Amino acid sequence: MTRLIPVLVLLLLLPFGAAGQEPAFDTAALVVETASGAHAFTVEMAVSPRQRERGLQYRESLAADSGMLFDFGFDRVASMWMKNTLISLDMVFIDRWGRVVTIARDTPPRSLDIISSRRPVRAVLELNAGTATAIGLKTGDRVRHGMFEN
């Protein structure tokens, strides 16, 4: 019986995932339109509370043409932070029409400072730090993805 206890504990924990285990993320195509042109990215979709909580934490790198899109499902003032995020990111706050509302550039890794959209947004797009500047992203530019009304 004592040999069965560790096995039973393991079986009970399996449905909930191991501590620190990353949730699975679906991917989708996304296009950011700026004055310099259309810029395509493949983004991981953070749509569930667990996915949004995990985000890009503990990642050591992010491909240049990728990112993560946090879908809140409705408009709200969004607040983010960089706790346990090992790489610097650009955070792009986007309204339900796909318009860029706010850009937080070069956010410092592991920071507990709150980064706010300051206005209601539907989503946040996280890209490698420097990407927003490299593509000339400005407030008012468009993000094309099926979740936006554009």
Q: What is the pLDDT of residues 131-149, one digit of tens each?
A: 999 999 999 999 999 999 8
> What is residue 17's predicted lDDT score, i.e. its pLDDT?
39
Q: What is the pLDDT of residues 58-117, one digit of tens each?
A: 999 999 999 999 999 999 999 999 999 999 999 999 999 999 999 999 999 999 999 999
- Number of Cα atoms under 13 Å in the Cβ half of residue 127: 25
Instruction: Give bridge partners of residue 11 from the DSSP assignment.
Output: none
Q: Torsions phi, psi of 76, nearest 5?
A: -160, 160
Separation between Cα atoms, residue 57 and residue 63, nearest integer Å: 15
Is the domain covering 24-144 a CATH 3.90.1150.10 domain?
no
For residue 10, the model assigns a pLDDT of 33
**What proportions of the chain, in percent to the nearest 5, are helix, strand and coil?**
15, 45, 40
Under DSSP, the state recorded for 149 is -
**Strands 37-46 vs 66-80: parallel, antiparallel or unpaired:** parallel
Residue 58 in contact with residue 76, Cβ under 8 Å? Answer: no
